[in-house]
Structures are given as structure tokens and as C-alpha cells.
Amino acid sequence: MQALHHNLLWVALGLVSLVAAEFSSPLAPSHGPRKFELSLTWETYNADGLPREMILVNGQFPGPVLEINQDEEVEILVHNRMPFNTTIHYHGKPNPKSQ
């Protein structure tokens, strides 16, 4: 069971990358919150040359990049299709205006 928790922690670190872009981002301004839908599944996947059961987000690892402008409202719908409860959190990464 401890190995399962260790693997979950390792996988959770790569779940979702959240990019907080500057206002110069090529993303078009939206009316209302920008919407994302994520589906979490527990599947056998070969991320590093060793097949193992792990968390996939929308069928992939690492999960998709969610590009969001600074101060933009977002709505994220998460479907937990795994055989156990989980939590999800996000990390922002500021980008220089030149990018």
C-alpha cells in the first residue's frame, strides 16, 4: 500500500501543468470563464519505459497544458473515473512578455 501512495505522489506531480500567461498572450479574450474538462483515469501506461498503473489525464501523461491569461476566470470540470478518491491542484508558471 505504501508503494501505491509513493507512485500516486510521483504521478500527481505531473498531472496538470498550468501556464499563467501575460496579457500579451496570443490567447483571445473570452466572454465568461475559460472552460476546461479533465477526465482522470487509472490505467496501465508506459511513461518511462516501465509499464505501470498510473493516473492519466484525458488519456495522457503528463496531463494537458492549460493556458490561461493572468486574472482570467476559469472553470475546470474534473471527472474522477478512478476506483478511488483523489485531489487535484495546479501550479502557475509566469512567462516573460517576450515569449
**Containing structural domain, residue 61:** 2-80
Query: Does residue 25 form part of some domain?
Result: yes
The tally of domains found in the chain comes to: 1
Query: Does residue 53 form part of some domain?
Result: yes
57 vs 23, 26, 31, 43, 80, CA distance in Å? Answer: 27, 25, 26, 10, 10
Q: Give residue 69's pLDDT.
A: 84
Query: Does residue 94 form part of some domain?
Result: no
- Whether the pLDDT of residue 26 is over 70: the answer is no
Query: Does residue 14 form part of some domain?
Result: yes
Q: Give the pLDDT confidence of 29-45 residue by residue, as tens digits.
A: 557 899 999 999 999 99
Would you tell me how many other CB atoms lie within 10 Å of the CB of residue 25? 18
Query: Does residue 96 form part of some domain?
Result: no
Query: Does residue 66 form part of some domain?
Result: yes
Q: Give residue 16's pLDDT.
A: 43
What b/e string do you get for 53-79 counting C-beta neighbours within 10 Å, with b at 16 or more?
A: ebbbbeeebebeebbbbeebeeebeee
Planar angle of CA 67, 68, 71, nearest 5 degrees: 165
Q: Which residues contact 1 (CB under 8 A, 6 or more apart)?
A: none
Q: Which residue type occupies 48? A: D
Nearest to 91 by CA among 20, 21, 3, 11: 20
Query: Does residue 88 form part of some domain?
Result: no
Query: Does residue 50 form part of some domain?
Result: yes
